[in-house]
Amino acid sequence: MTLRVIPLCLAAAFGAVAVAAWVPVAGTAATAAPAPPAPAGAPIPLAEVRTWAYQIQGLDRPGAIDELANSPYDLLVVEPTRTETGSDFDTRGMVRRLKAAPAGDGRHGKRVLAYLSIGEAEQWRWYWTWPKWPRRQPRPEGLPAFIIHPDPDGWGGCFPVAYWDPAWKDLVIYGARQPAAPDRDFTSMLGEVLRDGFDGVYLDWVEAYDDRPVAEAARKAGVDARAEMVALMAAIRAEGRRRNPDFLVSQQNAASLIEDRPEVLEAVDGIGQEDTWCLGRAGDKWDDPRGYDKPQKPADTKEYLRLLDLYRKAGKVVLTVDYTVTHAAEVYARSRERGYVPYCTRISLARLTTTPPPTRSAP
């Protein structure tokens, strides 16, 4: 693959970065042939997490779980996978294996969070028992009222929802139906996460309140869209901690909530921010160069950093994920110098990154 020269606008956003500070991990998880990890100790404290990785596709690929277990990352965010309709994926076994593997410090075990979309319904999940809504087709009859419209960013099969609707809250938290089988807790998304032993959740589409049709639906319903999103995350955390006192909640994106609704700090343990410096095109496959290395607007980068610093100063863990290959060294350096925990990869999130972060001992 041909690597691009760093654009001037991106160079300005990064400033001068000493490439000598870039200390790559030897090899990559995708190509190495690692030995089985030694038994891990207690889970690494969240405040000591220095590296993380994010994979929500391809977990059923042969060897994928071995790569994650043998990787040096402290924290992993992964897709539960068996919540897909008809899947028999052993999520519980995956979580058990990953938590038993050592974190990067060699003393603790990894933390494992479940990816969970709380602002969008996904029509490949177990709960989607309604008619499918093909792209560019009129809304079919029979969909629940909380489904508002197709994803505006081009992600197929995803639909922003009225997340304040009690029926959606039941699907997410409280239980919508009886389990499909004795060993499957498909009464709620959170119930499945807890049963499979995850340490917590990584919540996507938190910024649904900024989606124009969602905001209009909230206005018609007489609710504050931002307040309702914080309330949903707080309810997830409360129920998670009722069943696991150490349960963790991280929001993805929507950093402006800290100013709009400062009570968000009581609902989450951390935040993950996409696209702080680099982004890709939604829906692109792993090898498509359009899925990474597009520079973020400098003004957006500046605003993200301002807001993320507020979370960090409040004692929350700040994770960054940028979709870049060419500019990974610069992104790692810039993120780390602000006290964040960075990860650089490709937008499909189908494998571990080919540009891993600096080692824990790097400056």
What is the DSSP annotation of 25-80? PSS-TTT--PPPPPPP-SBPPGGG---EEEE-S-TTSTTHHHHHHHS--SEEEE--
Q: What is the mean pLDDT of residues 156-181?
A: 85
Q: What is the mean pLDDT of residues 151-158?
A: 89
Position 27 pLDDT exceeds 80: no
What pLDDT does residue 136 have?
86
Q: What is the mean pLDDT of residues 148-170?
A: 94
d(C-alpha 111, C-alpha 16), whole Å: 34
Tell me phi and psi for residue 184, to 5 degrees.
-130, 115
Q: How many CB atoms lie within 10 A of CB 290?
A: 13
Detail the DSSP E strand segments found in 56-191. 75-78, 111-117, 120-122, 158-160
Q: Which amino acid is at 356?
A: P
Residues listed for the chain = 363
Q: How many CB atoms lie within 10 A of CB 321?
A: 27
Q: What is the pLDDT of residues 175-229, one digit of tens each?
A: 865 444 445 556 799 999 999 999 999 999 999 999 999 999 999 999 999 999 9
Query: Beta strand pairing status for 341-345 and 317-323?
Result: parallel
Residues facing residue 42 across a β-bridge: none
- Model confidence band, residue 362 (pLDDT cutoffs 50, 70, 90): very low
d(C-alpha 70, C-alpha 38), whole Å: 9
What pLDDT does residue 110 have?
98
| Mean residue pLDDT across the chain | 88
Dihedral through CA 171, CA 117, CA 182, CA 244, nearest 10?
Answer: -100
Residue, of 358 and 30, whose pLDDT is higher: 358
C-alpha dihedral sign at 250, 229, 274, 255: negative
Q: What is the mean pLDDT of residues 72-76?
A: 97
Q: What is the pLDDT of residues 105-142, one digit of tens each?
A: 999 999 999 999 999 999 999 999 999 999 889 999 99
Position 37 pLDDT exceeds 70: no
Instruction: Report the predicted TM-score, pTM, of the whole model to 2 decimal places.
Output: 0.87
- Model confidence band, residue 36 (pLDDT cutoffs 50, 70, 90): low
N-term to C-term CA, the chain = 29
Q: What is the mean pLDDT of residues 165-170?
A: 96
Map residue 318 onto helix, strand or coil.
strand
Q: How many CB atoms lie within 10 A of CB 164?
A: 21
> How deeply is 161 buried, as exposed, middle or buried, from its count of CB atoms within 10 A (0-12, 13-18, 19+)?
buried
Dihedral through CA 238, CA 242, CA 248, CA 251, nearest 10?
Answer: -20
Residue, of 20 and 153, whose pLDDT is higher: 153
Question: Is the Cβ–Cβ distance between 349 and 54 less than 8 Å?
Answer: yes
d(C-alpha 285, C-alpha 47), whole Å: 33
Token look-up 């571990």 returns 352
What pLDDT does residue 265 have?
98
Longest dimension (CA), the chain: 59
- Model confidence band, residue 292 (pLDDT cutoffs 50, 70, 90): very high
| Contacts of residue 275, Cβ cutoff 8 Å, sequence gap at least 6 | 296, 300, 304, 322, 323
Write out the H or E segment, with its range, that includes residue 140. Answer: none
What pLDDT does residue 358 have?
84
What pLDDT does residue 55 have?
97
Superfamily designation of domain 8-116+174-205+221-345: Aldolase class I (3.20.20.70)
What pLDDT does residue 58 have?
96
Token look-up 């996978």 returns 81
Residue, of 282 and 92, whose pLDDT is higher: 92
Position 2 pLDDT exceeds 60: no
What pLDDT does residue 349 have?
96
- Model confidence band, residue 38 (pLDDT cutoffs 50, 70, 90): low
Least confident of 15-29, 30-44, 155-169, 221-235: 15-29
Position 361 pLDDT exceeds 90: no
